[in-house]
Structure 1
Amino acid sequence: MRIAGFDIGGANTDLAVVELDESGDITDVKTDFSYLPMWERKDDLADVLKELLEPFGEVDAVGISMTAELVDAYKTKKEGVVDIASKSNDAFDVPVGFVGLDGMMNLKEVLDDPLKAAAANWIATAPLAAKIKPDTILLDTGSTTTDIIPIKNGVECALGRSDLERLQTGELVYSGTLRTNVAALVEKVPLNDTMARVASELFAVTADVHRVLGNITKENYSGVTMDGAGKSIVDCRRRISRVVCGDLEVLSTDEIENIAAYIYSEQVRKISEALKEVSIRNRLHHVVTTGLGMDIIASMACELAGLTFTGMDKLLKKEDCVNAPAVGTALMMEPYLTKKNLEENLEGF
C-alpha cells in the first residue's frame, strides 16, 4: 500500500510517499518538497501537487494537511481552507482526506466546518512522537514556526487548538529556521562593547543567521532572499549588516558573526522559554525533536530548558524528519484503506 501525504505550508509544500505492509508497518518513506509561495501563486497549487507526486508513481490515497490558509492572499482562514481543500481534492482521482483537529475529514466535512482543518498539521506529527515515547513533548522547528505539543499516554493533549490559542498557551512559537524576520527576534544586538538597536525592517531572516554560522547549507536555504541577492555566506553577512544599518565596509566579519551568534542565542532562548512553560504545565520532562531545526535549534532549546530529548530520527531517516507532518498525514489515511468494509469506510473520501 502506498499513501501520499502533503503538508501545504505558506511557503513550502512537503510530500511524503509512505509504503506500508499488510500489518500497517512502514516499509519505505520517500520525501520531497516544492517552494510554493501561496501568497503569490495559490492558483498553481493543484499543478504543484501533481508535479511533486508524479515521479513517485501511483498511490492508493492522498492525505492533506495545511497551514497555508493563513497567507494574506485569503481574506479569512475559512476562505483559505476551502480553496486549498477544493484544489487538492480536484487534483487526484484517488481518495483524498484532510487532517482535522478531530482526525481525518473528507471534503464535505471540511467545507461544512473549515476551521477544523486550519493549521492542524501538528495533529499528524504528534502520533509519530508518541511512537518514540508515550509521555513527551513534540518540539517541531520548521522553516517558519515551532510547534510545542504535549503528549500523554500516547495522545496529544494540547491546551490550545487553533493557532491563536496555541500562541497564547506557548504551544506555538512563530520562530523558525529560515523565514523569521531578525527584527522580530531582537531589539538590540552587541556591537563594539555596546548594544545597538536594530532597524525594524525586513533586511535579514533567520536563514541568513544560520547560513553565516554554518548551521545550514546553501541548499537548505529554500525560498527567496530579502534583497533578491544570492545565498552565499557573503550575501548573508551583507543582509545581517543592514540590520544595524551597516554594510560590509562598515562592519567586520567578526562583528557580523557576533551579531548572528547573539540572534541565534535569542531565538533558542525564546523557544526554550515556551518549551519550559509547556513542560511545567503538563509535568512532562522529555522531548521529541524534529523539523529542519531539529539539531540546531530544538536540541539547544531542550538543553537550555534542562529537558532530556530524543530526535525523531530514531523513527524516521534524518532527511525525512524535515517532512514529519507529511509522513504523519500519510499515516493518518491508512485506517481508511485497511478496514474490512473498504467501500463503507471510504464513503465521502
Structure 2
Amino acid sequence: MKIAGFDIGGANTDLAVVEFNDHGDIIDIKTDFKYFPMWLEKDKLGNALIDLIGDDINDLDAVGICMTAELVDAYKTKKEGVLDISRKSNESFNVPVGFIGLNGVLKYKDVIKNPEDVAAANWIATSKIASKMEPNSIMIDTGSTTTDIIPIKNGSECTKGRSDLERLKTGELVYSGTLRTNVATIVRKVPLGDEFIRVSSELFAITADIHMVLGNIKKEEYTCSTPDGAGKSKEECMRRIARVICGDMDMLTPDNICEIAAFIYQKQIERIAEALIEVSKREKIEKVVTTGLGMDIIGAKAAEMAEINFEGMDKIITKEECVVAPAIGTALMMEQFMRKDEI
C-alpha cells in the first residue's frame, strides 16, 4: 500500500509518500516540500498538491491530510479555512482522502460536520512517531514558524490544550520557529558593544537570517521568502539584521551583527525552554524527543537549557524525514485507517 501524507501549513506544504507491506510495516519513504504561501496562493492548492506528488500519483492507494493553514489571514475564520482546504484536497484525488483530527482520521463528510476537529491538528500526527521511540516523553517539533511541545504518556499524547488558543496558554505551543519568526517579537533590546539598543518593530529580519549568520542552517534550508525580497546569502542576512536597530553595514561591523544574532538566538532558546519546563513539571516527564527543521539548533538546545534528557527522532527516521515528520505521521495514521476498512 502506498499512501501520500500532506502537512499543509500556512507557508510550507510538506509531503511524505510512504509505502507499506502487507503487515503495515514501512518499506520506503519519499519526502518533499514546497514553499507555498497560502495567504497568497490558496486558490492554487490543488495543483500544488498534485505537482508535489509527481509520478507517484498513479500508484497511490490513499491520501492523508493534516493542516495548519486554516489560520492564514486569507480566511476570515478557521472554519472557513478548514472547509476550503479540505474541499480542494478532497477534489484533487481519485483515491480515498482522510483528514487528521484531534481524535483520529476523519472522512471529508465528517470534516464538513466538525471542521474545528481538523484545525491545526498536525501535532497529533507527529506525536504518533515520537511515541514509537519514547512512549513517555515530551515531543518538541520545531518547524519554520512554530514549536510544538507535546507530552506523551504510555504511547498516547496527553495535552491539556486542544486548539491553538488553548495550547498557547498551556505552554504546548510556542509561536517561534526556525525561519519565519520576526526577530522583533523575540527581543526588545540587543547588545551593541557595551550598550543595549532598542529594536524597531518593523519586519526587517526573521529567524532564518539569524540562523544563516550563525551557521545554524544552510542556504538551501532558507526556504521561505526574505523580508526585503533580496537574497539569502550571509551578507544579505547581515544587512537585514542591521536594520532591526535602524542601522546598516556602513554603521555596523560583521562582529556587531554576529553578537546581535547570538543574543537573539539565545533568547529564542530561552523562550522554548521556559515552555518546556512548564510542561515537564506539570506532567512529571523528563525525557524529550526532538524533531523538525530546528530539532538540533532549537529543540535540543532548549532541552539542554531546561536540563532535560533528549534524543533526536532521527534515530528512527532520517534527519531529512524529521523535517516533514507530520506528513509521515499523517501517512501512518491513514494507513491504519485504511487497514480497518473505515474509508
Same fold at TM > 0.5? yes
TM-score (norm 1): 0.97
**Is the aligned partner of 1:151 residue 2:152?**
yes
Alignment of 1:1-349 (within 5 A): 1-57=1-57, 58-339=59-340, 342=341, 345-346=342-343
Structure 2: gaps of 5 or more residues = none
Indicate if the aligned counterparts of 2:290 and 2:312 stay in contact, CA closer than 8 A: yes
Indicate if the aligned counterparts of 2:211 and 2:217 stay in contact, CA closer than 8 A: yes
C-alpha separation in 2, matches of 1:238 and 1:204: 9
> Structure 2: which amino acid aligns with 1:283?
K
> Structure 2: which amino acid aligns with 1:17?
V
Q: Once the 2 structures are TM-superposed, how far is the Cα of residue 21 of structure 1 from its aligned partner?
A: 1.1
C-alpha separation in 2, matches of 1:143 and 1:55: 27
CA offsets per residue over residues 145-197 of structure 1, 9 Å max, x none? Answer: 00000000000000000000000000000000000000000000001201110
Q: Once the 2 structures are TM-superposed, how far is the Cα of residue 23 of structure 1 from its aligned partner?
A: 1.3
Q: Once the 2 structures are TM-superposed, how far is the Cα of residue 54 of structure 1 from its aligned partner?
A: 1.5
CA offsets per residue over residues 203-256 of structure 1, 9 Å max, x none? Answer: 000000000000011100012100111000000000000000000000000000
Structure 1: gaps of 5 or more residues = none
3-state SS, counterpart of residue 217 of structure 2: coil
> Structure 2: which amino acid aligns with 1:141?
T
Q: Percent of counterpart pairs with the same letter?
A: 63
C-alpha separation in 1, matches of 2:270 and 2:109: 42
C-alpha separation in 1, matches of 2:249 and 2:90: 49
Task: Answer with 55-64 or 108-117: which moved more.
Answer: 55-64
Q: Once the 2 structures are TM-superposed, how far is the Cα of residue 28 of structure 1 from its aligned partner?
A: 1.1
Q: Once the 2 structures are TM-superposed, how far is the Cα of residue 337 of structure 1 from its aligned partner?
A: 2.4
3-state SS, counterpart of residue 334 of structure 1: helix
C-alpha separation in 2, matches of 1:320 and 1:310: 15
Q: Once the 2 structures are TM-superposed, how far is the Cα of residue 270 of structure 1 from its aligned partner?
A: 0.4
C-alpha separation in 1, matches of 2:72 and 2:169: 20
Q: Once the 2 structures are TM-superposed, how far is the Cα of residue 55 of structure 1 from its aligned partner?
A: 3.2
C-alpha separation in 2, matches of 1:98 and 1:184: 32
> Structure 1: which amino acid aligns with 2:2?
R
CA offsets per residue over residues 306-348 of structure 1, 9 Å max, x none? Answer: 0001111011011000000000000001123223xx3xx22xx
Q: Once the 2 structures are TM-superposed, how far is the Cα of residue 27 of structure 1 from its aligned partner?
A: 1.0
Indicate if the aligned counterparts of 2:105 and 2:337 stay in contact, CA closer than 8 A: no
Q: Once the 2 structures are TM-superposed, how far is the Cα of residue 127 of structure 1 from its aligned partner?
A: 1.1
C-alpha separation in 1, matches of 2:55 and 2:253: 46
Runs of 4+ in 1 over 3 A off after TM superposition: none
3-state SS, counterpart of residue 230 of structure 2: coil
TM-score (norm 2): 0.99
Indicate if the aligned counterparts of 2:147 and 2:173 stay in contact, CA closer than 8 A: yes
C-alpha separation in 2, matches of 1:310 and 1:256: 32
C-alpha separation in 1, matches of 2:194 and 2:315: 43
3-state SS, counterpart of residue 240 of structure 2: helix
Q: Once the 2 structures are TM-superposed, how far is the Cα of residue 293 of structure 1 from its aligned partner?
A: 0.2
3-state SS, counterpart of residue 48 of structure 1: helix
